[in-house]
């Protein structure tokens, strides 16, 4: 999943970017409010981590403009410790959660996973569809209880489709969510990736909608 990281402190941004990438996310970094406003409103992101103290445009203004423009990206805001009024304003402006600096990286990742689950309508870190189970906390896929050995790219594909079950996801959307912008991508990269994952799963989970994309049907009631 692609995350927009908006932070002007290079030390914090570097630490966050490294931790997010180790956790399997694709990260786009920006360091000022104007770029964040434009990028968040024109690119597809699973979530944004937004610092409020930014140059050009402050984070609260960025968030308000996103919401006014109809951008529904889930947002985790970062605030200076003790600025409770900023936290209240952020939540009222449409933030999904907040975290005060300094913070533990494990807590930030946990909060990010939580807002991603909520945005996908999931109540717990685990989701089962047929014989396949996704554990977002452990970043693990299992089939009939047996762990499946997947590459990070393969895991991201299954996780994205499962958390968007019931919706056809286009190849373009998958490309945006699974690949970094600076990576050369073959035109059939998604088709090859889907084919490889289907073989490893060994079950009929990912369906093709020709001309539209791929879908995993809704989880069993």
Instruction: Give the tens place of pLDDT for each residue, 21-75.
Output: 998 898 999 999 999 999 998 888 999 999 998 999 999 999 999 999 999 899 9
Say whether 135 sits in a helix, a strand or coil. Answer: strand
Here the tokens at position 181 are: 């912008």
The pLDDT of residue 83 is: 67
- CATH code of the domain covering residue 43: 3.40.50.2300
Domain assignment present for residue 55? The answer is yes
Instruction: Give the tens place of pLDDT for each residue, 88-106.
Output: 888 888 899 999 888 999 9
- Given 61, 90, 119, which residue is the final one in a domain? 119
Q: What range does the domain containing 169 cover? A: 126-215
Query: In sequence order, which ranges of 23-142 are alpha helices (DSSP H)?
Result: 33-42, 59-68, 84-93, 105-119
Here the tokens at position 153 are: 């790219």
């Amino acid at each position: 999943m692609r995350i927009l990281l908006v932070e002007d402190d290079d030390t914090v941004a570097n630490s966050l970017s490294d931790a997010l990438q180790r956790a399997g996310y694709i990260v786009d970094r920006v360091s000022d409010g104007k770029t964040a406003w434009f990028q968040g409103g024109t690119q597809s992101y699973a979530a944004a981590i937004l610092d409020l103290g930014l140059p050009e445009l402050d984070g609260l203004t960025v968030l308000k403009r996103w919401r006014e423009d109809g951008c529904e990206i889930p947002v985790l805001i970062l605030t200076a410790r003790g600025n409770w009024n900023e936290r209240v304003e952020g939540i009222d402006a449409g933030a999904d959660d907040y975290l005060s600096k300094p913070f533990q990286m494990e807590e930030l990742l946990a909060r990010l996973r939580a807002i991603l689950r909520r945005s996908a309508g999931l109540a717990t870190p685990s989701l089962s569809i047929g014989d396949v189970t996704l554990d977002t906390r452990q970043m693990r896929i299992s089939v009939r209880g047996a762990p499946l050995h997947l590459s990070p790219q393969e895991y991201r594909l299954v996780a994205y489709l499962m958390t968007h079950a019931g919706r056809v996801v286009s190849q373009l959307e998958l490309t945006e969510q699974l690949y970094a912008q600076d990576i050369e991508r073959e035109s059939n990269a998604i088709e090859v990736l889907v084919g490889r994952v289907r073989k490893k799963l060994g079950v009929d989970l990912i369906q093709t909608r020709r001309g539209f994309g791929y879908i995993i049907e809704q989880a069993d009631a």
